Structure 1
Amino acid sequence: MLQLQRIREDKKDMVKALAKRNLDAEAMLDGILRLDEKRRGLQTDLDNTLAASNKLSKEIGMLFKSGKAAEANALKEKTAGLKELSKSLSDDLNDTAEELKNLLYQIPNIPHESVPAGSSEDDNEETFSAGDIPELQKDALPHWELAKEYDLIDFELGVKVTGSGFPIYKGKGAKLQRALISYFLDKNTEAGYTEVQPPLLVNEASGFGTGQLPDKEGQMYHVQADDLYLIPTAEVPITNMLRDEILVENDFPIKLTGYTPCFRREAGSYGAHVRGLNRLHQFDKVEIVRVEHPEKSYEALNEMVEHVKGLLNELKLPYRILRLCGGDLGFTAALTYDFEVFSTAQDRWLEISSVSNFESYQANRLKLRYKDENNKNQLTHTLNGSALALPRLLAGILENYQTDKGIKIPEVLVPYCGFEIID
């Protein structure tokens, strides 16, 4: 959520920056400023009314002590009027503050100056690529066919048990999935991240804290009886562990990692681009989260990008990194780098990670602050990234490592799997 002070001071620049998102924000920001002015006016009136009421109450007490009951009772009628006025002002203030908060929730984060303008994924900028695309045999198969041939993943059985988008991993497919999770967690903890195992359901406050609510409400599974949400990513519970906290500068950096299943109610569609593991309602992901001093958050972002690069380099997969344009940037992010692995059998790039800096946008919602050198509360910066999301990565491994003798296992995963080939 954007800070009101920043809107008051930098509205013109913010309108220009939000235009990168193809958003004409001037009218919305003007509406926010008008409501903020109204809110501050109501607060002043309420403070003055309460002060007058308190002063009058003291005068009444003195009059009773002085035996001037008649004068005291006369003033009590005036006190009753002030109390009624203060209640009316308080109600108006609460309504205005709620309306203001709801308007602020509708404004996305300000893109970083390096974010390119653009309207779709076609306008994203490639910043890095690595790895050689393997030449496969002529009868190379996409991962959903490989999964069936080697009995690794049963998509039809998942439909029977739950529905489309809930695959069942079997045998060596399940072991490879578990190996990837363990490998990523080990690499993350070696890099200084503390492992946590968070809940898979969160309350509404957590959804608002990291920005999934109200923006992505339709994409989340909602347990209505308990008013809880299944997590779309471990970012939500891990970041919310620090909600309403006030840190000190020595606490930085805070580096956390966790594995969770993730749940997303994405709209259904058909075609090869969503077949198999390409789009799921339940999937596994290992997440990295950082809370940083504002002056060091972009240095931290670069470190996170290099960390994910290191994972993919060790897996020896062809991949590229994209800087997302304004039109493709997530609602809460200031800058995002997407990692994509090349699926040789599908002849297309598959997104496997997003690494983002949210600057103070999430922290303002979370009320996540720190004491600066002057002992004043300041908002932290928050960051997160996938390290890594498994479904499309697993698809890339199955497809890129297939041979006429079977599917080889990336060398770094062999100690975790206990086998070198799926045959």
Structure 2
Amino acid sequence: MSRHDLIIVGGGLAGSALASVMARAGKEVLLLEKSTVYEDRVRGEWIAPWGVTEVRRVGLYDTLMAAGGHHLTSHVTYDETVAPGEAEAKAIDLGIFAPDVAGPLCLRHPVHCQTLFDKAGNDGATTLRGVEVRQMQLGADPSVTYVHEGVEHVAHAPLVVGAEGRQSMVRKACGRALVQDKPHHWFAGLLVDGVQGWNDTRQAIGTEDDFAFLAFPQGGTRMRVYGGWALDQAKRFAGADGADKFLAAFRMKSAPHNDAIADGTPAGPLYAYYNNSSVVDAPHAQGGVLVGDAAGWNDPILGLGQSITYRDVRMVSDILKDTASGAAPDFRPYEEERRERMRRLRFTAYIQATLDMEFDEKARARRHRYHEMGAVDPTIGMHAAAVLAGPEALPPEAFTPEHAARVLGEEPAFA
């Protein structure tokens, strides 16, 4: 039996980042990770400017940059209803959304995870991989029973953190229900090498015909790309030639630079999944707290998983560091902030998915109207600033049914 100040289940971004912060604060941290190798599972590799601010606040920015972090400084939105030159003339400077942040930060997910896991260990946390968690108990005397290298162990701590993602065992132990929205569209991601001639500091999104894309350079000629398509085409990119078909879908008249992506070489697996948001009303219970996807996630259409995670880590670690020895931490401020944060981001994701990831004539007319209105009234797109500047940076009216109706030209089908 071992005793610790904190047991963290899940050694991905959330768990490893929190372990690093708390170990640097002088706490005895046990970090348990199931995997032995961080594989490319097509997770997010983009941190919004407001998320970069959170990375800095938890003291991990220099670590990520040393591991190969790459900033993007401009953004273009392409669309079949807008001429390419017109779209590029309206490129957005991504350095305006957070103080002293050049723009979003990109880093390959497996590298990101390994870097943080190593950092946690170097900072003094006990870090174990290849762990099978068999049982846990929360409440007044939390404990975790796990197997490592064939030996069963029981660890005790005043608090167990669930950082093990969407299928969180800690969430179940907390007795918290996960409520998911109905899926809206299919989404897939692929790492691509040999993308020649693309400005590697420019990200882009766009929609044409029955496909929408997002492109995030990682430096040099490597790029992480994502694509979205309708739910009724579940097998569209299935099979041995799925990656080739996926890249071919990037060829668009409205985004001519995408030819460089289509001519690239797959450098990892192609995984498809449906997009939706989820919520956990209270991400804590006696003896347990949830961070990252374990606490509910935002629709990946916004790419904010890592930014949300770093905000979670910062808020939970601040509360723990401010809690007197022997006292129970009060996570209600975290619960309240996260509830409103995720409500606003869920709303923004609904608008963005409706605009970018629907493909019939009605959807094309909707996007055309949106772009025309935006040319004369920039406030029509103010909800989108929540993605880059943070949801708290916008006034409450940006997240109302009235604003959604103004953007979409119809009453929103959103609860």
Taking structure 2 as the reference length, what is the TM-score of the superposition?
0.24
Instruction: Determine which structure has the larger helix proportion and give its number.
Output: 1
TM-score (norm 1): 0.24
Structure number, greater radius of gyration? 1
